[in-house]
Amino acid sequence: MDPITRGLSILLLGGGLLVVGPGEAAAQAREDEVTHEVTAQVRSYQHVSLAPLPSFAAGPGPPRTVSTTYSVVTNDPEPRRLVASVEGPTPDGVMVWIELEPPEGAAPAGDEAVQVVGPDADRGPTPLVTGIEQVSATDLDVRYTMETTVAADPGDKQVRLEFELVP
């Protein structure tokens, strides 16, 4: 066998071809095709998170305001509202208002801060932001304003607020 014929008789592993010598049938490339059908199950997701609240103390007198930030994520195509609810008792003589910066495309629930604690407050769920559509937003501003009257006993007064996205 001459060197050319011997070279043509080499099996080319990478391409899957068998090259044969002169006078033999031409080799055919073999293509194997395999398919997979992939199904992605996308679940509805809503999440609100708040950065820690700075120290917040006030005595009778003018209101005091502190700020922090929040994040909101939802993939739900139906518009959502961000609401706050008061959990447990609220102290006498303490009033708290909240104002949230809405994510792009949404709007505040009112023209001013919403009272969530105090005699004029609705225990909730109280709308704070409306029209939240599919969004992932971080570092949005939250402003808490607290006012106390002489009816508030001295000492720590804790109020637990729950924030959630609802239809």
Per residue in 13-44, pLDDT tens? 444 555 555 555 555 666 788 888 999 988 88
Question: Shortest CA distance to 166 belongs to which of 134, 127, 114, 113?
Answer: 127
Domain membership flag for residue 129 = yes
Return d(Cα 30, Cα 143) in angstroms, integer.
68
Instruction: Tell me the whole-structure pTM to 2 decimals.
Output: 0.71
Total domains in the chain come to 1
Range of the domain at 85: 46-166
Q: What is the CATH number of the domain that holds 119?
A: 2.60.40
Q: Give the pLDDT confidence score for residue 159 in this predicted structure.
A: 83
In a domain, 115, yes or no: yes
Question: Does the residue 63 lie in any domain?
Answer: yes
Sign of CA dihedral 60, 62, 66, 67: positive
